[in-house]
A and B are shown apart, each in its own frame.
Chain A
Amino acid sequence: MLFKDLPIQKKLMGVIILISGIVLLVTCAAFFTYEVFTFRQTTTRQLSTLGEIIATNSTAALVFDDQKNANEILAALKAERHITLAGLYNKEGKLFAQYPAATLPGAFPPLPGKEGYRFENSYLLGFQPVTQGGKHLGTLYLKSDMNAMYERLWLYSGITVLVIIVSFLLAYVLSKALQKRISIPILSLAETAKAISDRQDYSVRATKLSNDELGALTDALNQMLTQIQKQNLEITSFNQQLEQKVTERTNELQLANKELESFTYSVSHDLRAPLRGINSYTKILEEDYVDKLDNDGKKIIEVILRSSKRMGELIDDLLAFSRLGRKEVTRNDIHMDALVKGVTDDFMLISVKNNIEINIQPLLPAVGDQALVKQVWVNLISNAIKYAGKKTKTLIEIGSYPKENRNVYYVKDNGVGFDMKYYAKLFGVFQRLHSNEEFEGTGVGLAITHRIIQKHHGEVWAESKLNEGATFYFSLQTI
C-alpha cells in the first residue's frame, strides 16, 4: 500500500516514529563521535604522562647502562593493563630494555621513531625522549591497546539501542493519543458530509471540536451548507412562482378559450338568424309572388337563395372547424381496414357517379381518435371523387406503408390534381384552388384534415401534377 493511501492515523504515527527515530540516531551519532574524540584525547594525555614519568625514572639506568634496573622499571607497567609493549632505546638507538620481558625484539620498531604519540591500527603508540639536563640519553617506546574504548563504545551502543526502543515505544503511545485529537475531528467531519449526501438533508451541521485548521474546515463546511440550504430555498420558491405563473397562464388561456367558445356561439347564432330571414322570406316571395315577377326577377331570387345557402354552409363549416380545435383527442387502436371499408362503402352507395373504382390495399393499424381519423378518410376520399375531372373512369388507390416508427397512409386519384406552386394554400382554411362553379366547396375539408392529423402529432402532405391526379398522405403513430 502506498503511503498516500494509508489512513491518516497510520500516516501520523509513521511520521512521528520516523522523525523521533532520525532525531535519536543523529543524537547518538554525535554522542559517539564526541565520545571517541574525548577518549582518544584522554588516552593520549594519560599515555604521554606515563611516558614522561617512566622516562624520568629511566635516566639513571641509561646513564649507568644498568639494563636490569631498566627492565625492572618497565616491568612496573604491569599495573597498566592497556600497555601492550614498552621499550627503552639507548642513545645509539639500540633496544636497551623491554616489556614484557619475553617479547621478541622483532615486535619493536628497529629504530626509535619520531617523538610524539599517534594512533596506528587501533593502537596508540608513541616515542618519548629520555633527557637529563638537556642531554639526550635515549628514547622510550610505548604501545597501548584501545580495548577500554571499545568496551565503552559497546556499552554505549547497548544503551543507545535501549533508548531507541524505549523512545519508539513512547512515540507510538504518544502518537496514538495525539492522533486521536487530529483524526477524530476529521472522521467526524467526514461522517457529517456522508450523512448529508446520503440523506440530502442540508440542515445538518458539523460540530466544531477545535479552533485549528480542522475547525476552520468545519466552519467552511457549515457555511457551505447554509448557502446550499439558502439556494435550495430560492429554487423551491422560484419553482413555486413558476407553477403559480403556469396556473395563472392556464387560467387566462381557459378564459380565452371560453371567450372564443361564446364568440363561436354568437357567430353561429347571430349570423344564422338574419341569414334565415333573407333565405326564408326570399323563398316566400318566390312562392307567393311568382306570377308577379318576370324572368329577371326570378333569376335574382335564385341568386339570393343560392348565396344565402352558401353563406349558411360557410358558417357551418367554420363552426365545425373551430369545434375541432377544442375537441379532446382520444387514443385507441384503429383497425384501418374496417374503417376505410365502411367509408368507401358509404360513398359507393350515395355516389351518383357509377364509374368509380376504389382499390384498397391491406392497411396497417394505427393509434388515434377513430371518429376524427374517419373524418380524415371521408374528406380525402370525397375529394378524390369530387375532383375526378372528365376522365371516363375514376381510379382511386388507398394504401399504407411504415416509415420511421410511423405509418403513412395515402389516397391516390387520377383526377384534375393541382398545381404544386399553390401547395402552400392547400391546407389553409377557406383556401380553394378551384372556383365554386368548377367544383363546389367551402375550402374547409383539407384544413380540418390538417388539424386532425396535427392533433395526432402526425403529418399530412400531398403530391400532384395538374390534370394528372393527386396523392394525399398522412402519418399516424403505430400501435
Chain B
Amino acid sequence: MDTHAIEILIVEDSMDDANLTIRSLKKNNIANNLYHVKDGAEALDFIFAQGNYSSRSKSANPKLILLDLKMPKVNGVEVLEKIKGNPATKTIPVVILTSSQEDPDIKRCYELGANSYVTKPVEFEGFVKAVKELGFYWMILNKAL
C-alpha cells in the first residue's frame, strides 16, 4: 500500500472498531486513502517515519488522525502528546475516539491540543453518523493547514 498519500490515519487496537470506521468513511465517500495502525507504538512509527515505516516520507503528513485512547503498549494520550509536541506534526488535526464519556483522559486530551473528541455510540446508526460527521467536517469543511 502506498503510505505516502494517506488521508486519514486510524489508530485503533480493535480490528472490529477499525473496520466499522473504515466502512462508514468509505461508504460516505469521505476518504479513500485510509490507513489503520493497531496500537500507539505503530502509530508513532508511522507518523514520525521510523521503524517499519522508515521508508515513508516525513513531510507527507496524514490530513486527519482518528485516535483511540485505550490501547496496549503506547496509549492514545502518549501518542497525542508526541504529535502535538513536535512542530512538524502538531498541525495535524487529531480527533479522539473514545468508548465512553467517563474517560478520565478527555480533559487531559484537550489540554494537550486534541481538536475534538467523539464518543463511539453502541448503536451502528449512531456510530456511522458520528464517523460520517467528523470525517465530513475535518476532511471537507475544515481546510487543513
Give the B-binding residues of A (Cβ under 8 A).
Answer: 261-262, 264-265, 268-270, 272-273, 275-277, 279-284, 305, 308-309, 311-312, 315, 319, 323
Contacts and interface: CB of A to CB of B under 8 A. Distances in A.
Contact of B20 (A280, A308, A319): A280
Contacts of B70: 269
A283 B124 contact: yes
A273 B20 CA distance: 12
B100 A269 contact: yes
B72 interface: no
Contacts of B104: 261-262, 265
B103 interface: yes
28 contacts: A261-B102, A261-B104, A262-B104, A268-B99, A268-B100, A269-B99, A269-B102, A272-B99, A273-B17, A273-B99, A275-B122, A276-B17, A276-B127, A277-B14, A277-B17, A279-B122, A279-B124, A280-B16, A280-B124, A284-B124, A305-B124, A308-B123, A309-B122, A309-B123, A312-B121, A312-B123, A319-B100, A319-B101
Nearest to A278: B122
Interface in B98-140: 98-104, 120-125, 127
Contacts of A265: 100, 102-104
Main DSSP-derived SS at the B contact region: loop
B26 interface: no
Contacts of A261: 102, 104
A297 B126 CA distance: 23
B4 interface: no
A262 B103 CA distance: 9
A154 to B, nearest CB: 118
Nearest to B15: A277
A270 B103 CA distance: 11
Contacts of A272: 99-100, 120, 122
Given A281-B16, A284-B124, A309-B122, 17 more contacts: A262-B104, A265-B100, A265-B104, A268-B102, A269-B100, A272-B120, A272-B122, A273-B14, A273-B99, A276-B122, A277-B17, A280-B16, A308-B122, A308-B123, A315-B122, A319-B102, A323-B102
A280 B120 CA distance: 11
- What does DSSP make chain A's interface, helix, strand, loop or mixed? helix
A311 B121 CA distance: 12
Top 9 nearest A-B pairs by Cβ distance? A312-B122, A283-B124, A268-B100, A280-B124, A269-B99, A277-B16, A265-B102, A269-B100, A272-B99
A83 to B, nearest CB: 138
Nearest to B99: A269
Interface string B49-91: 0000000000000000000001000000000000000000000
B99 A284 contact: no
B123 A279 contact: yes
Contact of B121 (A262, A276, A319): A276
Nearest to B16: A277
Contacts of A279: 122-124
Nearest to A282: B124
Nearest to B100: A268
A387 B145 CA distance: 54
Nearest to B14: A273
B126 to A, nearest CB: 9
Contacts of B20: 276, 280-281
Query: Which among A262, A264, A280, A312 has the greatest number of chain B C-beta atoms within 10 A?
Result: A280
Contacts of B103: 265, 269
Interface string B1-18: 000000000000010110
A427 to B, nearest CB: 24
Nearest to A312: B122
Nearest to B70: A269
The residue in B17, B23, B100, B101 that gathers the most chain A C-beta atoms within 10 A of its C-beta is B100
A78 to B, nearest CB: 143
A276 B120 contact: yes
Contacts of A280: 16, 20, 123-124, 127
Contacts of A312: 121-123
Contacts of A282: 124
A268 B104 CA distance: 12
Nearest to A309: B123
Contacts of B14: 273, 277
A290 to B, nearest CB: 14
A282 B125 CA distance: 11
Nearest to A264: B102
Nearest to B120: A276
A308 B125 CA distance: 13
Which of A262, A272, A273, A282 is packed against the most chain B CB atoms within 10 Å? A273
A270 B122 CA distance: 11
Contact of B125 (A273, A275, A283, A323): A283
A319 B122 CA distance: 14
Contacts of A276: 16-17, 20, 99, 120-122, 124, 127
B76 to A, nearest CB: 12
A273 B104 CA distance: 17
Contacts of B120: 272, 276
